[in-house]
Chains A and B, each alone.
Chain A
Amino acid sequence: MTATAPQAKRNRATGESFLSRIIRVLLILFFDAGSIWFITQALQKGYSQIAIVIGIITVMLNVIFLLPKAYPFRWIALGLSFMLMFTIYPIVFTFYVAFTNYGDGHLLTKEQALPLIEKITYLPTDAPSYLWTAYKSSDGNYALWLVDPQGNTFLGKPGITIVPSKPGDPGIGEADSKGIPASITGYDRINALLAVTDKNLPNIIFGAEGEKAVQITSPNTAAALEQRFIYDPKTDSFTDQSNGDIYNNVVGTFMTKDGKTIKPGFRELVGWKNFSTFVNSPAMSGPLVTILIWNFIFPFVSVVSTFALGLAIAIMFNEKNFPLKKLIRTLLLIPYTIPSVITILMWRGMFNSEFGVINRMLEAWFSWAPHWTTEAFWARTAILIVNLWLGFPYMMLITSGALQSIPGDLYEAATVDGANGWQRFAKITLPLLFVAVGPLLIASFVFNFNNFGLIYLFIGGGPSIAGASTQAGYTDILISYVYNLAFASGGRGLQYGLASAISLILFILVGSITLLQYRFTNMWEEVSENV
């Protein structure tokens, strides 16, 4: 802290050239203009959270880059902005979504849903009617010539604003004896009989979306569509203009007392409902418990098995001049060097129950082979085998590094005291090893705790748990279950609220495990001393 003052003075002393100052201010102005535009757009769409975050980042960057006192922060500002936007904000947003009904049927914000509902129209029975004449283009588009009761004339096309027009206007032909244009550029007039029998015409809405629109109601007349639902911000309700029904806002859906609803619904806070769904519904809580238990077994067994094998290898080939040591190490490292997505897919092929090499070998040798993909126990076993293969080289690397740092004279002293091999291992090697690699083991546990890639790529979490109301399998862990809830195909995904509720539980679990790690290793204190 004491260095702050001379620091600032030196910056002023060494100074920044006039040109670079101008460039800096211009860049900031440019950035501000962009983010103000972004924030306006975001607010219009109802994305108020993202608008707030961008606002905070913008203010932060302005202060940092304009105030000379904030000079040191210029070095970290960009990195921090990305972290704020894509690591910290997603965590906060997850907490928010966990308490909303965000998901299928409630994907929009209220700001987006209201205009959509207001665009819904109906044909009032008493609507002012127009006389119409139809025109058709060679590629099948229609146009409509409309005459209202006062004799005003209009030209209507689907999706385009209805405009007052007169025969003889540009693009419109001269009037016939009845005052109707004989032709419209690009379109041919359809004779009355064909027009009346045309199957398409009655379904076409003429006019731009959200503006005055006209639909044909009888062989002679067309009528203007009217907005069906009128919103009342005071009561937060819609009134159906066709029959007077009142639709009240019931947590994100406009609904009448007898249960009629308007689509789309929108996102709204629902309190603890997402969490209680998991507790109250047996079709949800059953699978969740299965998944939760496996979520602890899987990383635990993985860490223990990979550590045991890695350590065994490290001890076996620890001697300095063991023959071919370098070659053995390099070959054993191979599983670690291939991108894991590729090796997991490869194992998926090898574990194929029908055609895979593993089952073909087992069949040939024992005339027996397990169903790796359809039986829960064997699927889990297969995943643990794959993870052992994937993970032991890493453990080999870190334990052999740590073994070399254990002083040799400790073993000599122990041997002199009469300790046998096992005692030396249990009393010297293991405890010292745990001090060195303990944090890495916990980190490895946390990594496997969230090892989405392995679970998803191997057999997509399967085999399925019977009776589950959402997609859930016996090898699913929480993170892959979150994926299923949010992104599963075939109409079983899109449950963002539920998925975020599980994510929230994951955050708490991962946080607690890491807290344990810091406790266990005093890492926090060490780190605090070192900064």
Chain B
Amino acid sequence: MSNLTQTYNRLRGSQKFQKKFSVAIRLIVAVLLIAFAVFPVIWLISASFDNSNSLATQNLIPVQAGIKNYQRLFNQDPQFRFGDLSYWTWLWNSVKVSTITTFLSISLTTLAAYAFSRLRFKGRVTILKTILLVQVFPNLLAMVAIYVIIFQFGEIIPMLGLNTHAGLIMVYLGGSMGMNIWLMKGFLDTIPRAIDESGMMDGASNFQIFWTLLLPLLRPILVVIAILSFIGTYGEFMLARILLTDVSKYTLMVGLQIFTSGMFDQKWGVFAAGALIGALPIMIIYLSLQDQIAGGLTLGAVKE
């Protein structure tokens, strides 16, 4: 020990050693942090390949390795069936709801953002400020009211009521307007007006300017906002939990929650398989686009 201290003291003066020592320490810390960040995911992967399907007996290296849990997830294992499990339906519902919501909300917000950025009209500033004020309150705060409103919609138009995807999408649309309009307007503001003016010279209408000149320029940022919006809707839990009541209507997140709500320790492996299939596409999107997404995250607050 004292030997080490001596060596250390001898080398302490050297800048190079200090540098190397600090990098080494930090690498060790990095390994610990990565263990903390990644261990649960590795544990989940291992659980999904453990045929025993039990929380209690799972090891890091599965004892009964196999793909039985994936078969059970799709009710392909005759010895192991779950009545309330319809994974493909849930996944399809999630993809459907998220895609439609994303497409509609991006369309509506882009149109609105164009007006706020390019047109000048009475009430523009007031409306913009109101939007900023309203989006302070996430719409899940009003969950009781939203539930009742959708219930009343359904009493009049059953297609838009409780337990329908259309009703859920409408609520998502209402909630997604606020921040996205501001984001989009910010981007539109950065596009030089000279482009619009060149269009005006050629006698293009507002819509033609928007459609043929501005929209192509917006495409990169539209993709980022669309991805973020899709991921956000895909992962949304609370409103879907309140508004959807049938197993066949659940989104993946609601389905997984209900599936695991009883006897979780005996569904652990099947849950793990379902969780991984549900999470993998999102993980891949995130990690491959992490720089763009990180950029998008800070856009709302950090001024250029």
Binding site for B on A (CB under 8 A): 1-4, 7, 10-11, 14, 38, 41-42, 45, 47, 50, 72-73, 75-76, 78-80, 82-83, 85-91, 93-94, 97, 102, 313, 316-317, 322-324, 328-343, 345-350, 352, 354-357, 389, 393-394, 397-398, 401-402, 436-437, 439-440, 443, 450, 452-453, 456-457, 479, 482-483, 486-487, 496, 499-500, 503, 506-507, 510-511, 514, 526-528, 530-531
Contacts and interface: CB of A to CB of B under 8 A. Distances in A.
Interface of A is mostly: helix
B56 A76 contact: no
A338 B283 contact: yes
Contacts of A7: 119-121
B119 A440 contact: no
A345 B287 CA distance: 22
Contact of B26 (A316, A437, A443): A316
The list of the 7 closest CB pairs from A to B, nearest first, reads: A86-B174, A75-B115, A90-B142, A337-B286, A339-B235, A355-B56, A90-B145
Contacts of A73: 115, 121
B49 interface: no
Contact of B283 (A337, A348, A393, A482): A337
B260 A345 contact: yes
A343 B23 CA distance: 32
A323 B23 contact: yes
15 contacts: A72-B119, A83-B177, A94-B142, A313-B33, A324-B30, A335-B37, A337-B283, A342-B256, A345-B271, A349-B264, A398-B297, A436-B302, A457-B237, A527-B132, A531-B124
Given A317-B30, A342-B278, A352-B264, A76 B111 contact: yes
A439 B301 contact: yes
A513 B257 CA distance: 31
A466 B127 CA distance: 48
A76 B178 CA distance: 12
Contacts of B242: 483, 487
Contacts of B268: 349
Contact of A337 (B116, B124, B272, B287): B287
Given A93-B149, A486-B143, A401 B37 contact: no
B298 A93 contact: no
Nearest to B279: A338
Contact of B297 (A2, A340, A394, A483): A394
Given A87-B134, A338-B283, A345-B275, A496 B144 contact: yes
B143 A87 contact: no
B159 interface: no
Contact of A93 (B138, B148, B294, B303): B148
Contacts of A79: 108-109, 111-112, 177, 181
A171 B147 CA distance: 48
A47 B156 CA distance: 10
A339 B231 CA distance: 8
A339 B282 contact: yes
Contacts of A499: 144
Interface stretch (B10-18, B40-48, B63-71, B220-228): B40-48
Contacts of B260: 345, 348-349
B206 interface: yes
A75 B205 contact: no
Contacts of B87: none
A405 to B, nearest CB: 8
Interface in B224-275: 231, 234-235, 237-238, 242, 253, 256-257, 260, 264-265, 268, 271-272, 275
A217 to B, nearest CB: 37
B178 A457 contact: no
